[in-house]
Amino acid sequence: MIIMTVSTIPPALILILGAFLLPLTVGNVRRAVLLALPVMALAVLWQVPDGPVLTFDFLGQELVPLQGSTLGRLFGTVFLIMAFAGGLFAMAQKRSTELVAGYIYAGSAVGVTQAGDLLTILVFWEGMAVASGLVIWAAGTAAAYRAAMRYMMVHLLGGVVLMVGIAGYAVETGSLAFVAMQPESVATWLILIGFLVNAGAPPLSAWLPDAYPETSYSGMAFLSAFTTKTAVYVLLVGFAGTQVLIYMGLYMIFYGLIYALQENDMRRILAYSIINQVGFMVVGIGIGTPMALNGAAALAFAHIIYKALLLMSAGSVLHMTGRRKCTDLGGLFQSMPITATLGIIGALSISAFPLTSGFVSKSMVSQAAFDAQMGAVWLLLTAASAGTVLYAGIKFPWFVFFQKDSGLRPAEPPWNMRLAMMLLAGLSIGLGIFPEPLYRLLPFAVEFVPYTVPHVLNILQLLLFSGLAFFLLLPLMKRTLTISLDTDWLYRRLGNRLGVLLLTRGGALYAGLRQFALALLGRGMALVFRYSGPKGAFARTWYTGDAIMTVTVVLAVMLALFFF
């Protein structure tokens, strides 16, 4: 018998069930419920003790829908902080669809971090896929609808791969417990692939920049926080030290970097940036040392905050101007100084500027590569950090808020949007100045001291020369009205054309095959009727000995087929 206390209430259910209250409320009551739900869930989360809390048997397997852990508490905390900030930012949304879907999405992500078995993770995993698809669809445009369908196609495919892997793993081990594993069998490889789909790993990385920018002004802030970071969480728990993740992460880093540098759409720049930054985390997971795992976890925490801040500033611009291409923007600092300042804080954070959260977290991964004597990996991470400064630290704020004067003079966004950005900016700077609270949440004892003279000087030099390179190469950095082709072209264009080809030119082939199959079936039926019809051989009267002989021969043939 389970005695229900505060510590046995799954925090995920508070958000998921509470989300259905939002359509039933209006005005200040809805706002109060919207902000209270993440706070209540966070309070309950911190009451959950370490170890299994809720367990029950299902088809002979022990399921653990609620389990406390240091890493789960870290990710659950930042997810709920983001849910609060996202709810505050989206508070003025007229339709409740996005808010309901966003909170179910956030609650499902929290559920993954508190689950102790693979089946519970799969349930919440699919809940995230459906809810995030609804967040995209809630934008209400034709482009959003199509993007949501493509997004669901990829994520349901990833969910099927994950489900097959979990089923195979249960058969191999006799357990569904979510513990550290290595890709040593088909089942564990499938589980790893299922996790990597949500991380935005190749070859399906394009789902993220394809779908996220089509959301409403507030939807992308929700989406940036949960799907890829839950993937980071499960990789941290399940596949720490898997060397293939180092190479996968490096690919993601430079893939996101190259595409972000050539993008014209400000939200697609930040979408590719998510893949780039998650690549740093995946590299840390692949290295697998305590320093690297701490770095991946700390970077995930900090990234959720500063990336949401960047996307909220971009969402504010979109909300107030209706435009998202860099070629249509510029000079907005004149009428949106608060939004510009807060966006710059996010840009400094993602660039790992001293006194920001990015500075005290991202360098841990590079330091781990250096300590593990992975010189090539360290060098690539350093080069990628300089690239991050180019596309997110300078390119995004420069082309959106400065460069040429576009003539646009939009007002600042509503107070709730400004307040949400101020909250996240304060957290980014606060964690940068006082990183100890973050370090205490990490899974291993922290031996990293960020504020040393060599470290600060190295970062400042990197930032200085990256900025110099940007402005020297500014003519090459200016964007034009172009479209970047990505791997999603294979199913958006090529797949569509193949489908049309099959429906048109394949019609005659289908008709011929159908006619041939019907003719073959007709001949088969005529043959059966010839021997089994009223006047067929099998319909005549047989002697008993002949019948026994026939049955004996048939039985002998069946036995021969069975054994040989």
Could you state, in order of their start, the residue ranges of all structural domains in the chain? 240-483, 523-563
Q: Is residue 19's pLDDT more than 50?
A: yes
Do 492 and 204 meet the contact criterion of CB atoms below 8 Å apart?
no
CB neighbours of residue 178 within 10 Å:
22
The runs of H, that is alpha helices, within 239-326 are 244-262, 266-287, 290-321
- Across the range 392-420, mean pLDDT stands at 87
**Which DSSP letter does residue 52 get?**
E
Would the pTM count as exceeding 0.95? Answer: no
Q: Is residue 140's pLDDT more than 70?
A: yes
- At residue 17, φ and ψ (nearest 5 deg) are -70, -40
Do 419 and 340 meet the contact criterion of CB atoms below 8 Å apart?
no
What pLDDT score does 1 carry? 44
- Across the range 138-162, mean pLDDT stands at 91
- Across the range 469-478, mean pLDDT stands at 70
**3-state DSSP call for residue 62?**
strand
**CA max distance for the chain:** 106
What pLDDT score does 215 carry? 92
* pLDDT (tens digit per residue) in 69-89: 999 999 999 999 999 999 999
* pLDDT (tens digit per residue) in 212-255: 999 999 999 889 889 999 999 999 999 999 999 999 999 999 99
Do 252 and 384 meet the contact criterion of CB atoms below 8 Å apart?
no
Q: Is residue 397's pLDDT more than 80?
A: yes
Q: Is residue 107's pLDDT more than 80?
A: yes
Residue matched to tokens 């967040």: 135
Per-residue pLDDT band at 46 (split at 50, 70, 90)? very high
Structure tokens given for 245? 């993740």
Structure tokens given for 394? 């300078």
Q: Which of 117-126, 348-357, 358-367, 470-479 has the lowest mean pLDDT?
A: 470-479
* pLDDT (tens digit per residue) in 257-302: 888 888 888 899 899 999 999 999 999 999 999 999 999 999 999 9
What pLDDT score does 37 carry? 95
Cα–Cα distances in Å, from 359 out to 248, 336, 499?
A: 24, 27, 49
Element (H, E) at 27: helix 27-45
- Across the range 327-353, mean pLDDT stands at 90
Sign of CA dihedral 400, 403, 404, 405: positive
CA distance 21 to 467: 48
Structure tokens given for 189? 């490889």
